[in-house]
Amino acid sequence: MNSAADTDNVSERKSLLGLAWKIFLPVAIGLGVVAWLFHREFDSAVWDAVRFTPAAIGGIFLACVFMLGRDFGLSWRFRVLTDRDLSWLKAIKISYLCEFTSCVTPSAVGGSALSMVYMHREGIGLGRATTITMSTLFLDELFFVVFLPVMMLIVPYSQLFGFDRSSFTLGLRAVFWIIYIGLTLWTLLLYLGIFVKPHAIRRGLNRLFRMRWLRRWSAVVEELGMNMEMTGRDLRHRSLAWWLQAFAATSFSWMSRFLVVCALFIGFAPGADQMMVLARQFVVWVILIVSPTPGGAGVSEWLFTTYYGDLISGEGMALVLALFWRIISYYSYLIVGACILPAWIRQGFRNRRNKKI
């Protein structure tokens, strides 16, 4: 008994040390890039121009309110997708854990990958949690596929990627369209695999990934196909009202996240075109889908500073806004997750010991 308890204690300590490292790495990357950008762009005139006026403080406060709106939207979606089986408290907890996971993993992985584990711990069956996870993945991708063309109809396309034709602007546009086309095809594949021909899509993917140069991903693709079939069986009978509510929660969450930057511009650069600020957030988050760093650390700060510099007085002020943006929308979740996850890990080991007894 003592030996088993000692083993669990060692495993718990290793898990907590691993957690500390996962928190330290993205913070180090993000702050390192910020320090480099400050060194490159430092100008005392920029700092002299930064004033914490009532408008600026109001902008920061509004940005925090919008981040709470993001949390509300995700929690609302978990409630809808679980048919209210999750309480608001549990849904909020899972939302924060998912966001923390997104902060410490590459953006391509995201927080959705572990949401099924978090939901299972809160009493949702693992199979059903897998179905819900696939649903959230589909809804998130669908949001971008639907709303990006709408934003491009509202704002001038010639200004969306920047007002000049620099190598950065041309490169950003090319990368954006490559990722967006891939995102659209991926969303279409999810739709076909969940709602239309799940078995046929699964069979086709398995055949494709038996090819020699794709064989290394065959196990992952097989699991994806199984999950799509399982998801389809559960979701095809859902009503239109159910889907509309889930999509409304998804849209509310993403738009709240994007409006954080709009609020900061209202406080520090009120002369900027707010619709352009909002539209560029879509571009930023599409680009960050393929970020190789945890939570887009480093990439986010650099991209924001360079991309939004032409809407403000210069890159120096853009860097100041980038720092506020990341503190509110990124570092705050690292702190919250660091407070929640250790207790979550300890509870898991405690439950395991109780089962052994």
User: Coil, helix or strand for 212?
Assistant: helix
Q: Does 355 or 28 have the greater pLDDT score?
A: 28
What was the pLDDT predicted at 8? 46
The reported pLDDT for the residue numbered 230 is 75
pLDDT score, position 318? 81
- Residues 291-348 have pLDDT tens digits of 877 777 778 888 888 888 888 866 567 888 888 898 898 888 878 877 777 766 666 5
Cα 95-101-103 angle, rounded to 5 deg: 105
CA distance linking residue 83 with residue 77, whole number of Å:
10
Residue 294's beta-bridge partner residues? 106
**pTM (2 d.p.):** 0.83
Show Cβ contacts of residue 324 under 8 Å, excluding neighbours closer than 6 positions: 60, 63, 264, 268
Rounded distance, CA 338 to CA 105, Å?
14
Distance CA 262, CA 237 (A): 39
User: Rounded mean pLDDT of 96-116?
Assistant: 74
Residue 77, pLDDT score = 95
The pLDDT tens digits for 191-214 are 888 888 877 777 777 777 777 776
- Which tokens go with 253? 């969450």
- pLDDT value of position 16: 46
Gyration radius of the chain's alpha carbons: 22
Average pLDDT, the chain: 80
